[in-house]
């Protein structure tokens, strides 16, 4: 009783397709990891620069804009019905 399904294998084509998919996945993961590392590094550098600027400004830094856009610590965004909603953002205390 030779069953035909036991003699059919994916062969070289199946192996190559799986290998290509695994290689593409590895390259995508490597790229994503590099981008995340780069993003984390940039955030740390921005935080360090903001801390240096805050410590250099001294106590007068309380009135400086939090978001860097000159809004004075007020963040504007659109509400559900197109109305402006203002959220007050507390500045960080000097260290």
Confidence at residue 61, expressed as pLDDT on a 0 to 100 scale: 47
Confidence at residue 81, expressed as pLDDT on a 0 to 100 scale: 52
Pinpoint the alpha helices (H) of 3-95: 11-57
Tokens of residue 71, six digits:
């809004």
Q: Are 70 and 62 in contact (CB under 8 A)?
A: no
Confidence at residue 89, expressed as pLDDT on a 0 to 100 scale: 55
Straight-line distance from the first to the last Cα atom of the chain, in angstroms, rounded to the nearest whole number: 82
Q: Which residues of the chain have pLDDT under 70?
A: 1-5, 58-93
Confidence at residue 13, expressed as pLDDT on a 0 to 100 scale: 94
């Amino acid at each position: 009783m030779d069953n035909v399904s036991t003699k059919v294998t994916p062969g070289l084509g199946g192996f190559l397709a799986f290998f290509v998919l695994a290689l593409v996945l590895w390259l995508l993961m490597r790229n994503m990891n590099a981008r995340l590392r780069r993003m984390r590094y940039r955030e740390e550098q921005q935080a360090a620069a903001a801390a240096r600027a805050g410590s250099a400004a001294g106590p007068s830094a309380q009135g400086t804009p939090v978001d860097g856009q000159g809004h004075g610590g007020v963040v504007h965004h659109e509400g559900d019905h197109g109305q402006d909603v203002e959220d007050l953002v507390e500045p960080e205390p000097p260290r």
